[in-house]
């Protein structure tokens, strides 16, 4: 009996040893999302990136994530918990995770940290972002071509640089086609509230807009466009299923290639904190198929997309600020820090920026 017991214990020990050895070979990569992965928008696309990592690197990695983490003291705990649980590389995907991540990164120098859309870095903390404004310029051009009333409705969340940059880029695109093009802007003070987004879309359509643009995350505005027989653009993911006749295109966030590259670097031991701002040419910003528009509009959109891939920046002068004061000279290109801190409108935007 005793022998048997010893044999059992020995087997168990060997097994558990083997298990640890195997676990050590696997690299644990972890993600923190601010929304639910079921939002079919921003957090959903980040999670698609995580799944891409699993698919591409297979047995070599193990992934984990925390969703619905609010951007406050909760975030501290979330990052710390993941670091303690053996995550070797951790991605924080929201602007508000910046300070918590900086703090936790200091405590865990052996863990690699990555933060999306922020600006603070450290020896083991890199940052990454995507140039969504490139896509918004194309949306502006399509809107100006497709709109009969010459007015677009624009639903926005919060007056942060990312959103202001998007409005500006959209208007520059639209006015490059139709100089007197107008956008009616409605702030709903939320990233995600399908009901409010639908209400805002209805209000904008009732006031004469015939194209809807959104910088909020749900499919509701497009559904309203579909019901009314008007058109609009998707957000974050391809929403064509919700509006087969209304969606013109959509700016799709594709984080997969970036995440695969970074986790691979962590596996190879070549990871270094970076500072990247990826655009259409890097494949991080993708345009959903151009649909429901005549061929010449489609050709124009594709030409602009090509121009951007070749290195052209929508924020190339001459551009004046809203009040008419010059901002960029002929041929001058806005630098990244200015764009990332953008808190003013360009000429032609018909709205007062909430402060």
Partner 1 sequence: MDITVNILLTIATAATPLLIAAIGELVVERSGVLNLGVEGMMIMGAVGGFGAGYLTGSPWIGLLAAIALGAVFSLLFAVMTLSLATNQVATGLSLTLLGLGLSGMMGTSFVGQPGARLPNLDIPGLTAIPVIGRLLFGQDPIFYISIALTAAVMWFLFKTRTGLTLRSIGDSHTSAHALGIKVIRYRYLAVIFGGACAGLAGGHLSLVYTPQWVENMTAGRGWIALALVVFASWRPWRVLAGAYIFGAVWIGQLHAQAFGIPVPSQLLSSLPYLATIVVLVLISRNKRLTMMNTPASLGQPFVPDR
193 binds partner 1 per the rule CB under 8 A: yes
97 touches partner 1 (CB under 8 A): no
Assess 225 for contact with partner 1 (CB under 8 A): no
Strand 125-130 relative to strand 275-278, pairing: parallel
Q: Residue 48 class from Cβ within 10 Å (0-12 exposed, 13-18 middle, 19+ buried)?
A: middle
- List, as own/partner pairs, every contact residues 258-262 make where C-beta atoms lie below 8 angstroms and the sequence separation is at least 24, other chains included: 258/49, 258/128, 258/282, 258/284, 259/29, 259/49, 259/50, 259/52, 259/53, 259/91, 260/52, 260/53, 260/56, 260/57, 262/89, 262/91, 262/114
- Nearest approach in angstroms of CB 156 to partner 1 is 9
> Binding partner 1 by CB under 8 A: which of 26, 103, 178, 184?
184
Among 11, 190, 275, 343, binds partner 1 (CB under 8 A): 190
Are 170 and 183 a contacting pair, CB within 8 Å? Answer: yes
CA distances (Å), origin 115, targets 92, 184, 312: 5, 33, 26
**Candidate residues 241, 269, 272, 325; the one interacting with partner 1 per rule CB under 8 A:** 241
Q: How many CB atoms lie within 10 A of CB 52?
A: 18
Select the residue interacting with partner 1 from 56, 64, 177, 203 (CB under 8 A). Answer: 203
- Interface with partner 1, residue 54, by CB under 8 A: no
Q: Which is nearer to partner 1, 262 or 347 (CB)?
A: 347
Using CB under 8 A as the binding rule, whether residue 148 contacts partner 1 is answered as no
Q: Which is nearer to partner 1, 97 or 187 (CB)?
A: 187
| Piece of the chain touching partner 1 by CB under 8 A; list 98-106, 166-174, 187-195, 270-278 | 187-195
Q: Which residues contact partner 1 by CB under 8 A?
A: 35-36, 38-40, 44, 153, 184-190, 192-200, 202-204, 206-207, 209, 218-220, 223, 237, 241-242, 350-352, 354-355
């Amino acid at each position: 009996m005793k022998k048997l017991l010893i044999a059992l214990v020995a087997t168990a020990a060997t097994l558990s040893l083997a298990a640890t050895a195997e676990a050590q070979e696997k690299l644990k990569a972890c993600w923190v999302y601010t929304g639910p992965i079921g939002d079919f928008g921003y957090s959903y696309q980040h999670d698609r990136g995580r799944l891409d990592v699993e698919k591409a690197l297979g047995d070599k990695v193990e992934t984990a994530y925390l969703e619905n983490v609010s951007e406050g003291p909760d975030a501290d705990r979330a990052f710390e918990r993941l670091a303690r649980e053996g995550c070797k590389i951790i991605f924080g995907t929201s602007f508000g995770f910046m300070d918590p991540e900086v703090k936790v990164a200091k405590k865990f120098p052996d863990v690699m940290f990555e933060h999306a859309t922020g600006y603070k870095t450290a020896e083991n903390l890199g940052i990454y972002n995507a140039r969504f404004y490139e896509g918004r310029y194309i949306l502006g051009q399509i809107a100006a071509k497709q709109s009969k009333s010459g007015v677009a409705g624009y639903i926005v969340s919060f007056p942060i640089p990312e959103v202001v940059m998007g409005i500006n880029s959209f208007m520059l695109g639209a006015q490059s086609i139709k100089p007197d093009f107008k956008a009616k802007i409605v702030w709903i003070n939320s990233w995600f509230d399908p009901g409010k987004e639908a209400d805002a879309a209805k209000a904008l359509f009732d006031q004469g807009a015939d194209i809807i643009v959104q910088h909020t995350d749900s499919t509701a505005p497009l559904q309203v466009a579909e019901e009314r027989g008007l058109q609009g653009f998707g957000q974050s993911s391809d929403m064509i299923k919700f509006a087969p006749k209304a969606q013109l295109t959509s700016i799709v966030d594709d984080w997969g290639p970036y995440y695969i590259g970074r986790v691979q670097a962590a596996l190879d031991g070549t990871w270094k904190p970076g500072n990247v701002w990826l655009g259409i040419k890097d494949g991080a910003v993708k345009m959903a198929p151009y649909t429901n528009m005549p061929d010449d509009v489609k050709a124009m959109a594709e030409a602009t997309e090509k121009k951007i891939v070749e290195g052209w920046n929508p924020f190339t002068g001459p551009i004046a600020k809203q009040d008419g004061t010059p901002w960029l000279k002929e041929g001058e290109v806005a630098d990244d820090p200015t764009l990332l801190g953008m808190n003013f409108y360009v000429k032609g935007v018909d709205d007062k920026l909430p402060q």
